[in-house]
């Protein structure tokens, strides 16, 4: 990819720099301002190069997406988080057009498959529990969780009671992890702040890591994150370009992996499914779209372009 002829070095924003979250043009509007007439223009030169590489050789590209808040809207009941219909249709078309299509989620792989109907997307790979699990072609690999998860499961009710967790605090048993949600409380941010310290102490005692998210704190096994999951998949699939799309703090590791891959010569694009809760991720993204609706529009545009 030749960046020089584009004459756009001056408007390059390094990740996290002011302006990185404000792409030139409206990232959610149709206007044909991106490569090949795509109505999306990444704000960084590296991001544009990544997108151009995906478009130039889709058969060697890897597109990976987070589930909640990216493919599906954030809803009060995680068991009701279904894939946006536009994204569901686009995934099927993209599966035929790109080398690798993957979902990388903090959910159990089986749950994402069932909720999202992902099993019917040909060739899709689902990495669950931040890469701890892998589903592909109907086969699930799910190593047993370490004993610390049982300790967390057993002790969380007591920890929440001692910390004075407000009414509406909800515990989600994810099998290989346990998550505490405060979205249903009267003051979700205050409840999260109140519970963070005690839950971090429990995680340390149980040999687990704390995964912060959108009004949720998850205690999960150490050793994997979305960055190692994404980089491992890129290596294994010998992908020559990569695009990753997420909405939450857990996706920062995948964004970092894309930057690292770029340094190693693999062009890549990071996309933030934007929302008022995603400011931190948006600041590090090459492209910010308008939540799961914007993701659906982006995927649909890509699918149309690549299946032409």
What does DSSP say about strands 209-213 and 178-181: parallel, antiparallel, or unpaired?
unpaired
Q: Which of 68, 211 has the CB closer to Mg ion? A: 68
Residue in 52, 66, 211, 284 binding Mg ion, rule: CB under 5 A: 66
Q: Which of 194, 220 has the CB closer to Mg ion? A: 220
Stretch that binds Mg ion, among 83-91, 145-153, 163-171, 246-254 (CB under 5 A): 246-254
- Minimum distance of Mg ion from residue 281's CB (angstroms): 9
How many residues touch Mg ion under the rule CB under 5 A: the total is 5
Residue in 27, 47, 69, 267 binding Mg ion, rule: CB under 5 A: 69
Q: What are the strands, taking DSSP E only, across 20-84?
A: 61-65
Could you tell me the sign of the dihedral formed by the alpha carbons of 225, 226, 227, 230, in that order?
positive
Which residue has the CB atom at the shortest distance from Mg ion? 69
Residue in 52, 218, 247, 284 binding Mg ion, rule: CB under 5 A: 247
Q: Which of 43, 273 has the CB closer to Mg ion? A: 273
Stretch that binds Mg ion, among 45-53, 58-66, 112-120, 204-212 (CB under 5 A): 58-66
Q: Which of 53, 65 has the CB closer to Mg ion? A: 65
Q: What are phi and psi of 301, to 5 degrees?
A: -60, -45
Rounded to whole angstroms, the Cα distance separating 279 from 89 reads 28
| 220: three-class secondary structure by DSSP | strand
Exposure b/e, 243-259, CB count within 10 A at least 16 = b: bbbbbbbbbbbbbbbbb
- Minimum distance of Mg ion from residue 33's CB (angstroms): 27
- Minimum distance of Mg ion from residue 251's CB (angstroms): 6
- Minimum distance of Mg ion from residue 67's CB (angstroms): 6
Counting contacts by CB under 5 A, is residue 218 touching Mg ion? no
Q: What share of the chain is helix, strand, coil (3-state, %, to 5)?
A: 45, 20, 35
- Minimum distance of Mg ion from residue 269's CB (angstroms): 18
- Minimum distance of Mg ion from residue 79's CB (angstroms): 15
> Which secondary structure element, helix H or strand E, spans residue 134, and what is its range?
strand 133-136
- Minimum distance of Mg ion from residue 148's CB (angstroms): 23
Scan for tokens 């002790």, then name that residue: 155
Q: Which of 211, 248 has the CB closer to Mg ion? A: 248
Rounded to whole angstroms, the Cα distance separating 255 from 281 reads 9
Rounded to whole angstroms, the Cα distance separating 268 from 46 reads 7
Rounded to whole angstroms, the Cα distance separating 242 from 234 reads 8
Counting contacts by CB under 5 A, is residue 248 touching Mg ion? yes
Counting contacts by CB under 5 A, is residue 68 touching Mg ion? yes
Stretch that binds Mg ion, among 82-90, 196-204, 248-256, 294-302 (CB under 5 A): 248-256
Contact 132, 142 (CB under 8 A): yes
- The binding site for Mg ion (CB under 5 A) comprises 66, 68-69, 247-248
């Amino acid at each position: 990819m030749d960046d020089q002829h584009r004459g756009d070095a001056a408007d390059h924003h390094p990740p996290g720099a002011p302006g990185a979250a404000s792409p030139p043009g409206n990232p959610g509007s149709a206007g044909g301002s991106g490569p090949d007439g795509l109505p999306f223009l990444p704000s960084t030169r590296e991001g544009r190069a990544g997108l151009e590489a995906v478009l130039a050789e889709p058969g060697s590209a890897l597109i990976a997406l987070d589930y909640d808040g990216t493919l599906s809207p954030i809803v009060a009941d995680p068991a009701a988080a279904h894939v946006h219909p536009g994204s569901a249709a686009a995934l099927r078309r993209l599966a035929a057009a790109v080398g690798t299509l993957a979902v990388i989620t903090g959910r159990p792989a089986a749950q994402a498959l069932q909720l999202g109907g992902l099993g019917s997307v040909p060739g899709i790979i689902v990495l669950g529990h931040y890469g701890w699990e892998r589903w592909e072609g109907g086969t699930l690999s799910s190593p047993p969780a370490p004993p610390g998860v049982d300790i967390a499961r057993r002790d969380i009710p007591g920890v929440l009671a001692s910390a004075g967790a407000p009414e509406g605090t909800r515990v989600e048993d994810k099998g290989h992890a346990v998550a505490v949600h405060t979205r249903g409380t009267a003051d979700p941010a205050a409840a999260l702040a109140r519970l963070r310290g005690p839950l971090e102490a429990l995680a340390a005692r149980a040999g687990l890591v704390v995964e912060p998210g959108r009004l949720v704190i998850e205690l999960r096994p150490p050793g994997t994150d979305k960055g190692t999951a994404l980089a491992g998949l890129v290596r294994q699939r010998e992908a020559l370009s990569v695009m990753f799309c997420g909405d939450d703090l857990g996706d920062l590791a995948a964004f970092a992996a894309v930057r690292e891959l770029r340094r190693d010569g693999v062009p890549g694009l990071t996309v933030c499914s934007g929302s008022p809760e995603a400011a931190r991720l948006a600041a590090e993204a090459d492209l910010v779209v308008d939540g799961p609706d914007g993701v659906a529009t982006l995927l649909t545009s890509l699918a149309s372009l690549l299946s032409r």
